[in-house]
Amino acid sequence: MGTAPDDLEVVELRKAFIAVNDGIYAAPLNLPFTRYSKALKAREIICNVIKRKAKDRMLNFDKMDEKDSDLIWYYLMNDPSMSMENICGAIIGFVFAALFNTQNSIALAIYFLGQCPKALQQLREEFKQKMNDTDTTTKLTWDDYKNMEFCQSVINETLRLGNIVPRLWRKALSDINYKGYIIPQGTTIMTHIGAMHLDPSAFENPNIFLIHGDGWYSHTLFNLLLTNNPS
């Protein structure tokens, strides 16, 4: 949001995001000493910072250029129909994913690959091949990464088996008929992503790290429960 990582405001925002994370699965008791209450106050702090910076950008619209652009500026310029509350929610979700989900995904990918030397070796070979196919004086681009099939398969399987986000909340915008059951408009729905990712009717050997077939490149697999036999 246009600030340096060691800026005092960034430090305070980091604390606020941690408080929000601590309150996600807390009991919804809005009492001063509860994690839920602290999370609500932390979210308000974050939103106030976003709103203040959005106001500054709108006041200095004529002075803004490409180097000043950030996520707040993107939403203000590309989706003027979004309310400030929606912009706050979108930015909080974006930063939250970068702060917590990304680091968890990287840690799990390293753990899984550490348990499977064959997958790690194949991933290294794919990176080397991609570097040989491109100008080695430049870094790999985002398009290069997207075209690395085995790397993408490792990411997909890490997200499935690691269940970085085990559940999601949504609100029914209208009455929904699901298998004869009526879900009334306004009902909060919790989707258990973890249960779907480990559903044996949807995934072959759901508790096994498995990369194979057309969509999931190669044929490497290992059972996380049998770490003494990683290959």
Give the model confidence (pLDDT) of 131-148 as tens digits.
887 665 678 888 888 888
Which percentage of the chain shows pLDDT scores above 90? 16
What confidence score (pLDDT) does residue 65 get?
66
18 has a pLDDT exceeding 80: yes
Model confidence band, residue 41 (pLDDT cutoffs 50, 70, 90): very high
Task: Supply 66's token pair.
Answer: 């490409």
Do 22 and 39 meet the contact criterion of CB atoms below 8 Å apart?
Answer: yes
Contact 199, 190 (CB under 8 A): no
The mean of the pLDDT values for the chain is 80
Report the C-alpha dihedral over residues 73, 98, 155, 210, rounded to 10 degrees.
-140
What's the whole-number mean pLDDT along residues 195-212? Answer: 78
C-alpha to C-alpha distance for 102 and 137, rounded to whole angstroms: 28
In this prediction, residue 184 carries a pLDDT of 95
% of the chain with per-residue pLDDT over 70: 84
**Residue 229: predicted pLDDT:** 38
Determine the pLDDT at residue 217: 40
Token pair, residue 111, equals: 């753990």
- Model confidence band, residue 227 (pLDDT cutoffs 50, 70, 90): very low
Q: What angle, rounded to 10 degrees, do the helices at 102-114 and 117-133 form?
A: 110
Total Cβ atoms within 10 A of residue 8: 9
